[in-house]
Amino acid sequence: MRAAVAALFDRSSENYDAVGVDFFPVFAKQLLADVGIESGDRVLDAGCGRGAALFAAAERVGDEGSVTGIDLSPRMIELTEQEIDRRGLTNAVAAVMDAQEPALPAASYDVVLAAAVVFFLPDPAAGLRAWHALLAPGGRLGVTCFGANDPRWGRVEEIFRPFVPPSMIWAMLNPSSPFASTENFARAAVEAGFDEVSSTTRTHDVTFRDPEQWVRWSWSHGQRVFWELVPGEHRDEVRRRVLAELDRLREPGGTIVMRQQVRYAVARRAAS
pLDDT recorded at residue 171 = 65
34-47 residue pLDDT tens: 999 999 999 999 99
Give a yes or no: residue 161 inside a domain.
Answer: no
Starting at the earlier edge strand, list the strands of the sheet with 135-146: 92-96, 66-71, 42-46, 109-115, 135-146, 256-269, 194-208
What are the angstrom distances between the C-alpha of 99 and each of 41, 48, 127, 213, 241?
A: 20, 9, 7, 30, 36
* pLDDT above 80 (res 176): no
Give a yes or no: residue 231 inside a domain.
Answer: no
Q: Give me the number of domains the chain comprises.
A: 1
231-262 residue pLDDT tens: 999 999 999 999 999 999 999 999 999 999 99
Band the pLDDT of 172: cuts 50, 70, 90.
low
Give a yes or no: residue 73 inside a domain.
Answer: yes
* pLDDT above 80 (res 174): no
Give a yes or no: residue 247 inside a domain.
Answer: no
What are the angstrom distances between the C-alpha of 154 and each of 158, 179, 246, 258, 260?
A: 6, 21, 11, 12, 13
- Range of 63's domain? 2-149+176-205+261-269
Band the pLDDT of 167: cuts 50, 70, 90.
confident
Residues above pLDDT 70, as percent of the chain:
98
Give a yes or no: residue 235 inside a domain.
Answer: no
Instruction: Please tell me whether residue 104 adopts helix, strand or coil conformation.
Output: coil
Spatial separation of the C-alpha atoms in residues 9 and 90, rounded to whole Å: 26
Residue 70 contacts residue 46 (beta carbons within 8 Å):
yes
Give a yes or no: residue 26 inside a domain.
Answer: yes
Give a yes or no: residue 194 inside a domain.
Answer: yes
- On the 0-12 / 13-18 / 19+ scale of CB atoms within 10 A, 105 is exposed
How many CB atoms neighbour CB 130 within 10 A? 22
Band the pLDDT of 170: cuts 50, 70, 90.
low
Q: Which residues contact 31 (CB under 8 A, 6 or more apart)?
A: 53, 113, 115, 142, 143, 144, 264
φ/ψ of 59, rounded to 5, equals: -65, -40
Residue 47 contacts residue 71 (beta carbons within 8 Å):
yes
* pLDDT above 80 (res 179): no
Give a yes or no: residue 246 inside a domain.
Answer: no
Q: Quick check: pTM over 0.75?
A: yes
- The DSSP symbol for 97 reads -
- The DSSP symbol for 174 reads -
What are the angstrom distances between the C-alpha of 233 and each of 26, 192, 229, 230?
A: 36, 46, 11, 8
Instruction: Give the domain CATH number at 180.
Output: 3.40.50.150
DSSP β-bridge partners for residue 130:
none
Question: What does the pLDDT average to over 50-72?
Answer: 97
- Count Cα neighbours of 101 within 13 Å in the Cβ-side half-sphere: 3
